[in-house]
Amino acid sequence: MVRNVTDTPLPPLTQIPADLRSLADYERRAPAHLAPEVWQHIQEGSGTEQTLRANREVFPRLAFRPRAMADLRGGHSAIALFGRRHAAPLMLAPLAYQRLAHPDGELAAVRAAAALDTGMIVSTLSSVRLEEIAAAAHAFARELGKQAPPLWFQLYLQPEREHSLALLHRAEAAGYEAIVLTIDAAIKPSGMALPPGVVAANLAGMPQARQTATPGGHILLGTPLADRAPRWEDLAWLREETRLPILIKGMVLGEDAARAVDMGADGLIVSNHGGRVLDGLPSALDVIEELAETTEGRVPLLIDGGFRSGTDIVKALALGASSVLIGRPQMHALAVAGMPGMAHALHLLRAELEAAMAQLGCATVAEIAREKLIDRR
């Protein structure tokens, strides 16, 4: 269904219709449930959107090489990360302001994650407080008679270290199991103006940096905004302040990845921030093999950027990823059908992943290797 952009957005569906069979179906339907400016904000990339396109254009280049008549008995898609079982190599990426898509926002997302045994990375810029999200995950898991899913906290460094430390301590106290330090988005284009009722709930009471003037004729470099961008010394400081695993999100160079691991990073998330920060970056799939080579298997490598199907996930795993993060599709599913939509989207991804594994002759994720792919360049 396509609506005119002047129409009022449709409310979320209360039942999942039979024609929603893939994440692409959710993406096609989502505009009818969102204000036009919100839809544009969710979908847009930076500049001429070269990176945004690259994130999707890389997948058709990679073809599969299946193994015939493999023994699939006892197969499963589960993995372990930092001592925790994940039902599949799949997590919810950190996304800001999920109440833009649905009134329940992150609460709907984390309940879906709990229902599908899927880990979630909660953004510093979540529109629900990190404590409420964790409490909702545990409460819903208890209702279902299962353990709460792994929750990680994505940290944007704040202008003052005391405020970054406060966020870190809150995440530790709420039971988050890892910290994801995002390093590539301190300097990026401004987002849309937030509608009433949508706020950065975790930052209430904290001063926020705003570049309102250009002192001394500076445009960006030489201003407080650029001066506060993450530096290597910030990683060293954070490593001293927490015993939780630290993952660095936003690495694209092998030499930087190796340095981060040497300095105590416990994992890396290969990412170009969904094509939203620097136009012209390669897709994460194009660089993950370099990062895998330079880090020599010392830490898990996760990846995001353009993943929309189970076969996309398999391709990342074959190139060296330990797990895949799903970003924009969260907003599509939330807009269309809230928590049930999110749970259904996760179920579709896992079903597609396991079907692809079976066709390739891989009974477990560990059997998904580089030899399963042909690069058609």
Residues labelled catalytic: 273
Residue 139 token pair: 């409460």
Closest CA to 151 of 166, 141, 165: 141
Spatial distance between the Cα atoms of 61 and 68, rounded to a whole number of angstroms: 22
Residue 67 token pair: 């193994």
Say if CB 168 and CB 125 are below 8 A apart.
Answer: no
DSSP for 220-286, please give it. STTSHHHHTS--HHHHHHHHHH--S-EEEEEE--HHHHHHHHHTT--EEEE--GGGTS-TTPPPHHH
Spatial distance between the Cα atoms of 291 and 269, rounded to a whole number of angstroms: 10
Say if CB 130 and CB 174 are below 8 A apart.
Answer: yes
Q: What is the DSSP letter of 371?
A: G
Spatial distance between the Cα atoms of 300 and 314, rounded to a whole number of angstroms: 16
Spatial distance between the Cα atoms of 243 and 177, rounded to a whole number of angstroms: 10
DSSP, collapsed to helix, strand or coil, labels residue 181 as strand
